[in-house]
């Protein structure tokens, strides 16, 4: 049983390696819900250059009606990427770090062996767990203790479903690691949980800076699984000898960055004005603003906002919303029916489709599970008395316009809760290269939009590594490097009128109870 540390968040004591002459080379591993990407970063003290060296699919597998991540296949992809980095850089790489999605976890036995493939957050096992947990601990109390948005995918509900179902794996589990932590453990041999990931679990108390031990015990969750937490930018140690020999990265350190991919992406936002909002746009859309301490009160609870850890002691007041996953699901469904659409083709069709004809709530329960997304969207519009989108162009336009209205709604909530009206919006991640999404966000919010960097999680991962190595002195320095290395593109609002009317319709649909 791991000891509960009083000051849970700390940096492991490791002597920093001697100052490396510029440029230094680092490897980032960014694990997304659909693919993994390994990139080589070269930093000369002023600019960061990033080149992707390997990409591999992340395809969940359903076994016995349980949706799981193929962790070993992902690890094989990570190692392939590290070998590719060696081929491109030689032996000059000084560090490796992994970031990935939140909430999902791996369980290890007392010998440090993986007990089973981690379960996917979209698995249905938490459907009743959410209600059952809230019956024991009222939702307002859960939020007061953790500051985290109430979402059935959160770790706390996943664990509860295992306890309630008397899952036998809990009888032999000795350690819980979030997904990036698992790969750091396999690479370095050091098993630690990183802060930004820990905050996504809804098992962490951001005020106390430790696990919410009393909450875990009240729910009967196995608290012995929750071990020590480390801060973003912690040097865990060198690569295991066998990993270093296999990949050729001899002497490279393993660094725990801001390992939640959203936190890494936010580390790369080149803010131009204080108080600006951001959208990390990918499979999920995360809309938020950076704060110095968590905002946990009645207003943030009513707005269903979340407080997740960020780099350098910051917190992110934000909302997690369904993102471009809806579009990806549409593409997958169309391909199953023999129509493979490239996004450039879909964007052209969407741009030519009638504007603001139909709207959906991307966060509705109807759109949570994988499946026939075009059919569900059509059914939503039909049930709400709207025009049913015909063809891929109208369908994609409906999705993108609806996403931008979610952004506007969330920014209004953030403004009301924080008391700060954002002067601009920064869009980072895959959505930043979507010109329609960026321009329509500017139009819908009435705010200038700065787009980029695109691979923000990779960039932020590398910048936090550079901070850990002593190559950058602060988060502000890191963001200045991001701004100079990846020039953002500006989108000015130009058509606010029609969007105001559409936003009114959008809110009426939600108020009418069509979110379920």
Is the bond leading into 453 cis (omega within 30 degrees of zero)?
yes
The CATH number that domain 325-404+498-511 falls under is: 3.30.420.40
Q: Which of 106, 37, 102, 97 is nearest to 69 (CA)?
A: 106
Q: Which of 264, 180, 189, 194 is nearest to 229 (CA)?
A: 194
CA angle (56 as vertex; 53, 61 as ends), nearest 5: 165
- Catalytic residue (choose from 175, 261, 361, 443): 261
Written as one string, the DSSP assignment of 101-136 is -SS-EEEE-TTS-B-SPPBPTTSGGGHHHHHHHHHH
211-263 pLDDT, tens digit each: 999 999 999 999 999 999 999 999 999 999 999 999 999 999 999 999 999 99
Which CATH superfamily includes the segment(s) 262-322+410-497? Answer: ATPase, nucleotide binding domain (3.30.420.40)
pLDDT of 280 above 50: yes
Three-state secondary structure along 342-363?
CHHHHHHHHHHCCCCCCCCCCC
What pLDDT score does 322 carry?
A: 85
Question: What's the rounded Cα separation, in Å, for the pair 101 and 181?
Answer: 11
Average pLDDT of the segment spanning 43-56: 97
The length of the chain in residues reads 516
Burial 45-84 (b: 16+ CB within 10 A, else e): eeebebeebbbbebebeeeeeebbbbbebbbebbbbbbbb
Written as one string, the DSSP assignment of 53-80 is EEEEE---EEETTEEE--HHHHHHHHHH
409-428 pLDDT, tens digit each: 999 999 999 999 999 999 99
Query: Which of the residue ranges 68-82, 179-193, 269-283, 358-372 would you say has the lowest mean pLDDT?
Result: 358-372
What pLDDT score does 512 carry?
A: 56
pLDDT of 331 above 50: yes
Which helix (DSSP H) or strand (DSSP E) does residue 151 occupy? none
Tokens of 309: 């850890």
Domain boundaries, the chain: 9-261, 262-322+410-497, 325-404+498-511
- For 454, counting Cβ atoms within 10 Å of its Cβ (0-12 exposed, 13-18 middle, 19+ buried), the class is middle
- Residue 214 annotated to the active site: no
107-157 pLDDT, tens digit each: 999 999 999 999 999 899 998 999 999 999 999 999 999 999 999 999 999
Going along 213-328, which residue ranges are E strands?
A: 229-230, 234-238, 253-256, 277-281, 284-291, 306-309, 315-322
Query: Is CATH 3.40.1360.10 correct for 9-261?
Result: no
The pLDDT confidence band at residue 21, using thresholds 50, 70 and 90, is low
Please list the residues that pair with 230 across neighbouring strands: 10, 194
């Amino acid at each position: 049983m791991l000891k509960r540390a009083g000051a849970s968040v700390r940096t492991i004591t490791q002597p920093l390696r001697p100052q490396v002459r510029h440029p230094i080379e680092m490897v980032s591993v960014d694990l997304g819900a659909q693919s993994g990407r390994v990139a080589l970063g070269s930093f000369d003290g002023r600019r960061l250059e990033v080149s992707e060296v390997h990409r591999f699919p992340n395809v969940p597998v359903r076994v016995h009606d349980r949706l799981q991540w193929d962790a070993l296949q992902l690890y094989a992809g990570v190692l392939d990427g590290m070998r590719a980095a060696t081929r491109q850089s030689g032996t000059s790489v000084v560090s490796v770090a992994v970031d990935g999605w939140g909430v999902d976890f791996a369980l290890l036995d007392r010998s440090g062996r993986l007990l089973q493939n981690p379960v996917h957050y979209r698995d249905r096992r938490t459907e009743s767990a959410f209600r059952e947990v809230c019956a024991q601990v009222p939702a307002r109390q859960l939020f007061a203790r953790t500051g985290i948005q109430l979402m059935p995918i959160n770790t706390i509900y996943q664990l509860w479903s295992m306890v309630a179902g008397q899952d036998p794996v809990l009888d032999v589990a000795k350690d819980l690691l979030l997904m990036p932590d698992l790969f750091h453990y396999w690479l370095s041999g050091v098993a630690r949980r990183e802060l930004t990931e820990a905050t996504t679990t809804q098992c962490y108390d951001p005020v106390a800076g430790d696990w919410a031990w009393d909450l875990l015990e009240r729910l009967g969750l196995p608290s012995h699984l929750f071990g020590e937490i480390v801060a973003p930018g912690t040097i865990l140690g060198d690569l295991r000898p066998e990993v270093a020999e296999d990949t050729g990265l001899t002497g490279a350190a393993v660094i725990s960055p801001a390992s939640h991919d959203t936190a890494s992406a936010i580390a790369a936002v080149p803010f131009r004005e204080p108080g600006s909002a951001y959208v990390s746009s990918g499979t999920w859309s995360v809309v938020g603003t950076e704060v110095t301490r968590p905002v946990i009160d009645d207003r943030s609870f009513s707005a269903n906002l979340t407080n997740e850890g960020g780099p350098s002691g910051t917190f992110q007041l934000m909302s997690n919303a369904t993102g471009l996953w809806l579009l990806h699901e549409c593409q997958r469904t169309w391909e199953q029916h023999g129509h493979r659409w490239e996004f450039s083709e879909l964007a052209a069709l969407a741009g030519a489709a009638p504007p603001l004809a139909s709207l959906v709530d991307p966060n509705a329960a109807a759109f949570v599970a994988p499946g026939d997304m075009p059919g569900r969207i059509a059914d939503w519009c039909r049930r709400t008395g709207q025009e049913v989108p015909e063809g891929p162009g109208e369908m994609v336009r409906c999705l993108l316009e609806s996403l931008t209205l979610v952004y506007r709604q969330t920014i209004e909530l953030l403004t009301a809760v924080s008391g700060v009206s954002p002067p601009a919006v920064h869009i980072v991640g895959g959505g930043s290269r979507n010109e329609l999404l960026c321009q329509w966000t500017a139009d819908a919010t009435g705010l200038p939009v700065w787009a980029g960097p695109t691979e923000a999680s990779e960039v932020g991962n590398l910048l936090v590594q550079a901070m850990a190595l002593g190559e950058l002195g602060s988060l502000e320095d890191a963001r200045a490097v991001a701004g100079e290395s990846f020039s953002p593109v500006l989108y000015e609002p130009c058509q606010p009128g029609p969007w105001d009317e559409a936003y009114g319709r959008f809110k009426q649909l939600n108020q009418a109870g069509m979110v379920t």
